[in-house]
Each structure stands twice: as C-alpha cells, then as structure tokens.
Amino acid sequence: MISSMISHERSLEIERRLAEVLGVEPEEVRDYVRSYVDVRRVEGRRVTRIKVLRGTHGFTLVRHPEGTDPLPAGHEFPPE
C-alpha cells in the first residue's frame, strides 16, 4: 500500500532543483535516475539491474539486465 505520493509538478520541481545544483539539464537527471531503476517487473519484483552473486565467504555485486536484487546499504552501484 502506498502511504504517500508526490505530485507530478513536485517531482518536476525536485528534478529541476537537482539539475540546478549539479549544473546539468533536467533531462540528464531524469536519464540518470532511469538508468538505475527500471520500473519493469520480473515475477512481481522491480528490476534494479543489480545481481548479488553469493559465495561461501561473501558476495559480489554485478550489473545484470534482469537483476532484481536491492543495492545493499553502504554499497555503490557496480561499475559498468
């Protein structure tokens, strides 16, 4: 259940302000966000394009077109 949402106008304002702070065009902010979170779903799970490869002593984060694993707290998105 969604407890709260922002309006389309508010999201455009946030996008504009982020672009201003970063010194880029709003479209670049939008493209950046879209490149990290794809709203497609795989078996009901959001596609994040991240796959966690688990081993016996830890894990490795990799980019994967159908990856649905969340980015663990404190970790950066894997390099391309």
Query: Which pLDDT band, with edges at 50, 70 and 90, does 1 fall under?
Result: very low
pLDDT per position as a tens digit, 19-75:
999 999 998 888 777 665 555 666 667 778 888 899 999 888 888 888 888 887 777
Q: Is a pLDDT exceeding 60 seen at residue 2?
A: no
| Helix (H) or strand (E) segment spanning residue 40 | strand 38-42
Q: How many helices (H) and strands (E) does the chain have?
A: 2, 4
Query: Which pLDDT band, with edges at 50, 70 and 90, does 4 fall under?
Result: low
Q: Which residue has the tokens 């302000």?
A: 17
59 neighbors 53 (Cβ within 8 angstroms): yes
